[in-house]
Amino acid sequence: MKKLLCLLFLLGGLHYAHAQDTTIAKLDTLLSTYNRLYKFNGTALIAQHGRILLHKGYGFRNIAEGTRDDTGTIFQLGSVTKQFTAVVILKLEEEKKLSVEDKVSKYFPDFPKGDSITIQHLLTHTSGIYNYTNDRTFMENEVFQPASREKLMALFKDKPLDFSPGTKWNYSNSGYCLLGCIAEKAANKPYEQLVREYIFNPLHMTNSGFDFKRLNNKEKSTGYFFINQDSSKVAPGVDSSVSFAAGAMYSTTRDLYKWHQAAQQYKVISKADWERAYTPVKNNYGYGMIIDSTEGKRKISHGGGIHGFITTLIRIPEDDVCIILLDNASDNTIGRISESVQSILYNRPYTLPKVRNAITVPEVKLQQYTGEYDMKGFTITVAVKDGILTGQPSGQQPTPLYAEKEDFFFLKIADVQIKFTRGEKNEVNGIILYENDRERTGTKIK
């Protein structure tokens, strides 16, 4: 009987090991395929049931130097920073240095309507405060230079509220910058020091920090606007004083996994406060985290995007699942990748990205597509330059369009396709723009 039990146990273990090996192979194939298509260039860490299934780099840390992304590569995080800011606020509340019910006016008496905006409104994007990253002039010209806290606040302080606090939801980086300023006032310490003292140091997150632009570390990645088989474009670094408590952190997959483990064990703040952070207020948003579900289980996530980088951190606490994707090419969309990763972990159907091959089309035939197309909100100008068809959305630079088949073109720098439509006389009369599983139609106006 003992021999039979041992045999059954051994067979069960072998079956589990085989299933896990299959999962790992699927994950690696998925990410390798996206990398070959220039749609993922970074490092991934995927864990389930407390075991790291895959931890690997795909692509280049720095193309010019020929260095590759690996498990120690350092990336800018963008808005993944927000959950760290939220936990700092809750930690300060535990220390009775502030309350999430405090009004902004308590810390900044001259802040317009500050007596109607609470810290909780800021945490949950329900304050109505104008989002300073919507200021196009500032974002295009001034984000690369240091900005004082006062200058940052001046970008949104005197703008009218988008709505009465607490009545609606609208994503606001301004609110999280203001949280950083409030934390500094309440603790009488720099925001960055608070994050280090409360989170980085106790959790031994030794490769996390701020001021990425001036970081001197061989593992530091270079951010790119795009990478494809023909070229790449380096993105200028946003100064950390500009992104501040809304998005200034840098980190590694390894350090972020330590953060996940701390959350699983309810470290840094109490279990009750973690649960408060996980409680959605409006639009599935809690405190610096998006609260959703998969397979009927709570899913906690947030993404980030900043010049040259796009990131995501997804956690499913019930199954101790952690998905970390850090990409140093900001044209890539990792939302679709993360959905496929979840499908693999939970044995759901998924598809690998399609390999698109360009065909040659004579310039005389390309001319039939040229013109201006009204996309209901912006226009796309299609032209031929040096034998190459290009598309130029209003306010942007022309981008090459590559023919896959008749009337169907694709971009190499993003997951975007364009289908030209025809009228009764076979004339080109419009386009259908496909972008990340969304369709937008346009009419030819010139």
pLDDT in tens, 207-229: 999 999 999 999 999 999 988 88
Give pLDDT, residue 73. Answer: 99
Q: Return the exposure string of 92-124: e unless at least 16 CB atoms fall within 10 Å of the residue's CB, then b.
A: bbeeeebebebbbebbbeebbbbebbbbbbbbb
How far, CA to CA in Å, does 241 sit from each of 86, 163, 164, 306?
18, 27, 28, 13
pLDDT at 339 over 90: yes
Query: Residue 163: exposed, middle, or buried by beta-carbon count in 10 A (0-12, 13-18, 19+)?
Result: middle
Give pLDDT, residue 1. Answer: 61
Strand stretches in 181-231, DSSP E = 224-227
Q: Return the exposure string of 46-75: e unless at least 16 CB atoms fall within 10 Å of the residue's CB, then b.
A: bbbeeeebbbbbbbbbbbeeebebeebbbb
Q: Are 165 and 174 in contact (CB under 8 A)?
A: no
Q: Are 42 and 75 in contact (CB under 8 A)?
A: yes
Percent of the chain past pLDDT 90, that is, above it, reads 81
DSSP state string for 102-122: -BGGGT-TTSTTGGG-BHHHH
Mean pLDDT rounded to a whole number for the chain: 93
The H-or-E segment that residue 94 falls in is helix 81-94
* pTM, rounded to two decimals: 0.84
Give pLDDT tens digits for 376-392. Answer: 888 999 999 889 999 99
pLDDT at 116 over 70: yes
Nearest to 344 by CA among 20, 50, 8: 20
Q: Which residues contact 227 (CB under 8 A, 6 or more apart)?
A: 38, 41, 59, 60, 63, 329, 331
In order of start, what are the domains of the chain with their CATH numbers? 75-345 (3.40.710.10), 363-444 (2.40.128.50)
The residues that bridge with 419 in the sheet, in sequence order, are 408, 432
pLDDT at 4 over 60: no
The H-or-E segment that residue 5 falls in is helix 2-36
The average pLDDT across 35-51 equals: 96
d(CA 97, CA 323): 34
Q: Which residues contact 249 (CB under 8 A, 6 or more apart)?
A: 76, 77, 80, 81, 84, 195, 208, 209, 210
Q: Is 381 helix (H, G, I), strand (E, B) or coil?
A: strand
Give pLDDT, residue 65. Answer: 96
d(CA 89, CA 97): 9
Give pLDDT, residue 436. Answer: 66
The average pLDDT across 113-119 equals: 96
What single-letter DSSP state applies at residue 78? G
pLDDT band at 30, cuts 50/70/90?
very high
Give pLDDT, residue 397. Answer: 76
pLDDT at 256 over 80: yes
pLDDT band at 35, cuts 50/70/90?
very high
Give pLDDT tens digits for 48-83. Answer: 999 999 999 999 999 999 999 999 999 999 999 999
pLDDT band at 234, cuts 50/70/90?
very high
